[in-house]
Every structure is written in C-alpha cells, then in structure tokens.
A and B are shown apart, each in its own frame.
Chain A
Amino acid sequence: MKVKLKSISAAVVAATIMATAVPAMADLTFPMLSYRTGPYGPNGTEFADGYADYFTLLNERDGGIGGVKAVTPECETAYNTQKGVECYESTKGQGALVYQPLSTGITYQLIPKVTADDIPMHTMGYGRTSAANGKVFSHVFNYPGTYWDAASVIMKHVSDMEKGDLKGKNIALVYHNSAYGKEPIRTLEELAKRDGFKLTLLPVDHPGQEQKSQWLQIRRERPDYVLMYGWGVMNQVAIKEAGNIRFPMDKFIGIWWSGSENDVLPSGDKANGYKAVTFHGVGTDYPIFDDIKKYVADTGKAAGDGSNIGTALYNRGMYAAVLAAEAAANAQKMFNTKEITSGQMRDGMESLKVDNARMEALGLKGFAPEINVTCENHGGPGLAAIQQWDAKTKTWSLITDFVASDRDIIDPLIAEDSAAYAKENKLTERECKS
C-alpha cells in the first residue's frame, strides 16, 4: 500500500508537472511569490495587484518590454517561508528573471539560493538591509531604500517635530517579533546613543492580533513617540489600540509596511493624523493611472477584483514592477538582445538609472526620487517622505519632501553586518570596476 500510494501519487504529480512546467521561453517571466490568503493577505493582495497590473499595461499598451511580452506566473506563499521555498523551486525553471518575495523571512531563505542560481532578487524596502552592500550580496538588491533608512528618516521627522532636541525623550518601537521587525533596532539604538533619547522595545508576536499588554505598557509609560514596524493584521490592531488609549496619532509613525489603507480604515476617525514613512507617492494623481484605467481596468484585465487601484500598497507593487521592467529594458539594451537571461537581468539591475526625465516619460512625474544603482550600492538613494492619513477624505498625503537618511550612521552598520555574513559564508568581497 505504501508503495502503491506513493507511486500513484508520484505518477500524478509527475504528470501534472510535466503538463504545466513547459516554460514559455519566448516571454519575459517575472514570477510573483504573492500572498492573498492568511493574516497578511489583505496587504499582499494590493501589492500583487499593482505588480501584475503594470505588466498587463505594458503588454496591452506597448506590446511588452522591447516587443517581448511579460508574463507573471503567480504562486501563493501565504507569507510562509516553507511555501516560499517551494514556490521558488517550482517557478525558477520557467526562465524567471527576478524574484520579489515581499517577505523578509522568505528573502533570507532565498539569498543564498538566488546567488547560486544566478537569478537576481529585488527586495524593495524590505529583506536583509545589509544586502545594500553589493560587494557582498551580488544578486540581492533593495533599492530605493532599506529598513534602516526608514528608521533614520522617521527619527529625522521626530527630531523636526521636537525642534531638533531629542534629549531625554522616550521613544517606543512596536515591532513584529520576527526578522523583519527586529531589523531597525540596531539603527535606532545607534541613533538613541547619538541623540540621547530612550528607546523602549515592545515586540508583538505573529500574527499580531493580541497587543493588549504592549499598549497597556504604552499607556502607563506614555512614551513621547511610538514607532511601528508591523505588517498585516498587526497594523490595524495597533492603530485601533492607539486610538483606544487616545495616543496622539501624529506622534505614532509607522514604517512603509504599516501605512496602507487597510491599516487605518478599520479605526475610522480615530486613525486621523496617523503617519507613515514612504518611498514613493500616494494616490492616483499621476498620468500613468489614466493608462491603467484605459488599458487594464476598463478592459477587465485588472488583477484581483480591480478595486485596489491607487491604494498605497498597489502603488508600491506597481512601482516594483516599473523598476523591474526598467531594469529588463536596460538589460535588453546592454546586451542587445530581446530575450534576456536572469544573469543579464542582474547586470541590468546593477546599472539601473531612473532619472526624473524618465519618470516623467513613464507618467510618474514626482512619484519617487531618482535611482542610480551601482555595483557597490544596491540600496539606492535611501530617500523617504512622511505620509499622513486624513480620515475625513480617506486619503494619504505626503507632508514632507523626500529626505535623505543618516548615511553616516547606517553605512558602518551595513558594512559590519555584511562583513559578518561574508565571514559566516566564507565569501570574499568582489571587486567593483568603476
């Protein structure tokens, strides 16, 4: 029976794989390790829709990238690392050009694998921050900004609100108790040392439904500011709890992953004034959305149910797709071929330049700062702005310009952490020709 069961199921599995895994080599493949289920599903859905819709737009409007159609096979990870690995293995054979797993846990899992398989991975504003050091992490990119840039920009904003004096202030960090949430701690500790504020750490365990004790502590200690590194349902709960204890919302600032409509809408008016950092523009006030409406939404080709267009995470997913498509086009130009390989895609990403003129041509004028990726710096400019929620109009709006982070604090930390990784894995830094 054991044999029979196994052999039968193996035969069925083999048959289905053979039937499906015929890679369409003529297309440019951008596999999506997305998640539309589980406690992180609402956030994952918006990002995935934005990512898929931009490629649909390119296919419908321009006939693809450089005349080659882009395809986005989707694989559901449910934000689970084990499923993420399975998705990676099942899609990499289809000619995958770049992976964007939208999960720090899966990113850590895939860093050694993508490097061995010569496939680039773009972890836009998440993942392993020290991957910004391109000399150690050849195949991992996290432009246009990292977790540590975000922490620094948030603290700059706090400093501005306090007229530059943070001495003796108490700043609490509410974070997802995982690799993701722990990332900013080291940066914030350095900043606390430099600026003389007190840092209180409040971990929240997956999935983050239960935060009573954390917010009780906040109510008791009354920190001057609360920062949040949350994701999924944890964000909504935290913003609700903050409303319940009447914490001043303009002193509650989230990372860019804690700044979507999903997070603030459940709290209604209480969420008014909540802030989050962001590395791109908000809303639909950009010409590209006219094209998305015309070619994607109105023709019924939108991913999902098409209701997410213009949300904060949709825009981010779209921006991720824009950068991926730009890098692919760059690689096509560099190697003078239409059908690029994943290795060529990596080179395309490493020499990616997106200036303001190009952004305007894309219909995204002022959407995000210029990007200039180099061999040494895979972390991009690290500029970010602060967005604030208006509960009346139910919209986000940018309240600051895109400002730079404290690179003099972050760069040594990146060097230190990437050196530790290189040592653990016996890597030598590669040389960068310039």
Chain B
Amino acid sequence: MFYREAGDFKTSYAKDQQSFPIKLDRYWVWGVLAIAFLVVPFFINDYWEKSVLLPFLVWSMAALGLNILTGYCGQVSLGTGGFMAVGAYACYKLMVAFPGLNIFIIVILAGLITAVVGIAFGLPSLRIKGFYLAVATLAAQFFLVWMFNKIPWFYNNSASGMITSPERLMFGVPITGASAPPWATYLFCLTLVTIFAFIARNLTRGRIGRSWMAIRDMDIAAEIIGVPPLQAKLSAFAVSSFYIGMSGAMLFGVYLGSAEPTEAFGIDKSFLVLFMVIVGGLGSILGSFLGAAFLVLVPVLMKNIMVGGFGWPADLAAHLELLFIGALIMFFLIVEPHGLAQLWRMTKEKLRLWPFPH
C-alpha cells in the first residue's frame, strides 16, 4: 500500500536499471538530499557541525571505503586507521606545499595517494586470506602510524609532531582552519560524500562490483569463470583506500584541524570503522551510513540524555555509554547478523506484501 512496485511501469532499459528503480525509494533519497543540501545549511551551528554532522559524514566515508573492501570483496582489513593517516598526512603535505591549490582537489589527491599505498599493502592479499590477511593489514596500521610519528618530514619538523591544517579556501570561502563557517565545511563534506556514495553505489552494481562479489563469494570459482583475482582484489584495495584516504583528509583538514598519528589514527579507529561496517551491514552502501550513524551519533545522543537531560556525573555517563554501546552492538549482531541494512531490506519486503502477508 505504502511501498510497492505495482503500477510503477518501466518502458526503457535505462529506467529499469536506474539506481533506485522503486519510485518511493527515489523520492526518499531525493527528499533526504534536498533537506541535507537546501535546509540544513541554514540551520547548522558550530555544535551540530562539529559534534554531529561532520563526524557522521567523515566516518560514513571511511565506512563506505571499508565496506567496498570487506563487504563487497571479502578482504578483511584492520589497516583503516593507517590508511586514514596516509590521507591526512598527504592532505597536510599538499596543503603546505601548494598553498593556492583548491582544497577539493587536495582531498581528491590525498585519496589517490592513499590508493597507491593501499595497492602496495593489498599485494599480500593475493597470497593470503582471511585472518592472515587481517594480520597483514594490521602490520600496515602499525607501520604507517609509526612512520608518521618517526619521520619529521611528514610533520614539517614541528616540535610536537602534530600537524595543523592551515586555512584553505574554496570559492573564496574558508573550508579549513578555525574561521571556516559551519555551513561551508558541512556542504563541502556532504558534497564529497554524496558524489562518492553515488559512485560507490554504481561501481558495486556494475562489472567491477560483480567481480568483487564473485571473489568474495568463492575466489577459486570466480577465477575459473574468468574473474582475474589480481585485478579484482587490487582494484578493491585501491578504491577502498581512495575512500578511506579522503575520509582521513576530511577528518584532519576539515573536521579536527590538527592531528597526531597515534591518537587520531590508532588501531581503535580501525576497529571502529570495522564495527560500523559490520553493524551497518556488510555489502551495503546504506549500511555504511547506518553503521556510521549508529556508532557516531548514539554516543553523542546518550551523553546528551544522561549528562544534559538527567544531570548525571560525566564520568558515570561515560562508563554507562561504553556499556550500552557494547550491549547494543551485541544485541544487533544477535538479532540481525546482517546488520542494520538488513532490517531495512526486511521492512521493505514486509511493506510490499502488506496488508496481505503469506
């Protein structure tokens, strides 16, 4: 009744193959995008920008990247934090070396540099699988963070080893630095995430995505039917690292404004993104967003309710928050092992049949 294909006739292949073939889905997406682009920028303030929207967008981008690698291509990676660090330091070096360069281009370039690094660390995936690959990417995580801490060239020999993002403009509006207005940073990140979520969606529906999924489901069978594992795995590593690098660049440049490698890009960040992907739903673009929203926004929400709403002590709230988030993750994994995205898929199925289920 509310949600169905009946009556939604397609008269051309192009229409049948569009991203969201069901009319209501399409309206939802356009509606959300319209609100995000046209309404939110007028109401955003510093708090919503720095505590809610930017972290959500940045981590969504990282989750998208890891979902491509782990969810679609089946290669488990624990190197996300390290790859984000590559993006952040590439962003910093580019910002400092080319002060006139547009920040949009810098973020893309930082992503490309990370893609190259990702390919290098993806090479072992051709020989090792599963847990062993996870350990190999773990090595990438530790190596990269150690390197950025150790070699002074990466942080321009600053006394503390911290990198700080200078002010960079786009269309005359500062995007990085302290005087960047909230709407500008928000729109900047939103545009990037929207463009690349759309690209990811279409990549995963096309030939490349299908080759990734074939590798994920059974690599030997995929090889026999003619999917080259070398290209499929390395392209997954490249695209995934590209996304993760961009998220690292946004995290450092736009969101935090300064970073040190051990703290901002530690192993806990790799796990955080992995949890986002697993909780949100492996092999789902929507799942990446839901997972990021769950793990970024729920802690903020709980803190506001407990400290702001009930006036509980901050430390008690912090402990309870850890407890609740852990419990919620376990709850969701037990109730719905395929993640939050699967809940939506099931809701869709039910809505289609409603009010006459089998």
**A binding-site residues for B, Cβ under 8 Å:** 1-3, 5-6, 9, 12-13, 16-17, 19-21, 34, 36-37, 41, 45, 74-76, 78, 80-82, 85-86, 88-90, 92-93, 104-105, 108-109, 112-113, 115-116, 128-130, 177-180, 182-183, 185-186, 203, 205-206, 417, 420, 424-426
Closest A residue to B49 using CB positions: A89
| Contacts A2-B286, A425-B167, A425-B177 supplied; 16 other A-B pairs, CB < 8 Å | A2-B289, A6-B32, A12-B301, A13-B301, A16-B305, A17-B308, A76-B317, A76-B318, A82-B264, A86-B300, A89-B49, A109-B256, A109-B257, A113-B257, A177-B149, A179-B161
| Assembly CA distance A425 to B256 (angstroms) | 16
How distant is A60 from chain B, measured CB to nearest CB, in Å? 19
Query: Which bracket fits the contact residues of B?
Result: 35 or more
- Contact, CB under 8 Å: A108 / B47: no
Binding-face segment, B50-58, B213-221, B227-235: B50-58
Considering the complex, which residues of chain B in the window 264-323 have a beta carbon less than 8 Å from any beta carbon of chain A?
264, 266, 286, 289-290, 293, 297-298, 300-301, 303-305, 307-309, 313-315, 317-319
Main DSSP-derived SS at the B contact region:
helix
Judged by a CB distance under 8 angstroms, whether B178 is at the interface is yes
How distant is B297 from chain A, measured CB to nearest CB, in Å? 6
Chain B residues near A85 (CB, 8 Å)?
A: 50-51, 256
Chain B residues near A19 (CB, 8 Å)?
A: 308-309
A-contact bits for B16-56, CB 8 A (1 contact / 0 none): 00000000000010011000000000000011011110010
- Contact, CB under 8 Å: B178 / A5: no
| Assembly CA distance A112 to B314 (angstroms) | 26
| Assembly CA distance A88 to B305 (angstroms) | 18
Chain A residues near B51 (CB, 8 Å)?
A: 85-86, 89-90
Q: Which of B31, B297, B309 contacts A3 (CB 8 A)?
A: B31
| Assembly CA distance A113 to B158 (angstroms) | 20
- Contact, CB under 8 Å: A116 / B178: yes
- Contact, CB under 8 Å: B260 / A105: yes
Q: Which of B28, B159, B178, B318 contacts A112 (CB 8 A)?
A: B178
Q: Which of A45, A108, A182, A203 contacts B164 (CB 8 A)?
A: A108
- Contact, CB under 8 Å: B314 / A36: yes
Closest B residue to A34 using CB positions: B314
Q: Which of B167, B303, B307 contacts A426 (CB 8 A)?
A: B167
Q: Which 5 A-B pairs have the closest CB atoms?
A: A20-B308, A36-B315, A112-B178, A179-B160, A76-B314
How distant is B132 from chain A, measured CB to nearest CB, in Å? 24
Considering the complex, which residues of chain B in the window 78-115 have a beta carbon less than 8 Å from any beta carbon of chain A?
96
- Contact, CB under 8 Å: A206 / B318: no
| Assembly CA distance A190 to B286 (angstroms) | 55
Chain B residues near A12 (CB, 8 Å)?
A: 301, 305
- Contact, CB under 8 Å: A75 / B307: yes
Chain A residues near B198 (CB, 8 Å)?
A: none
| Assembly CA distance A186 to B160 (angstroms) | 9
Q: Which of B96, B161, B166, B315 contacts A76 (CB 8 A)?
A: B315
Report 20 cross-chain contacts, Cβ distance below 8 Å, ordered by A residue: A2-B28, A2-B290, A3-B28, A5-B290, A12-B301, A13-B301, A16-B305, A37-B315, A37-B318, A80-B263, A82-B55, A89-B46, A93-B47, A104-B160, A109-B257, A116-B178, A177-B149, A179-B160, A179-B161, A206-B263
The verdict on A13 contacting B304 (CB below 8 Å), with A81-B263, A183-B160, A424-B166 known, is yes
How distant is B52 from chain A, measured CB to nearest CB, in Å? 7
Closest A residue to B306 using CB positions: A16
Chain A residues near B304 (CB, 8 Å)?
A: 13, 16-17, 20
| Assembly CA distance A206 to B29 (angstroms) | 42
How distant is A167 from chain B, measured CB to nearest CB, in Å? 26
Judged by a CB distance under 8 angstroms, whether B179 is at the interface is yes
- Contact, CB under 8 Å: B263 / A105: yes
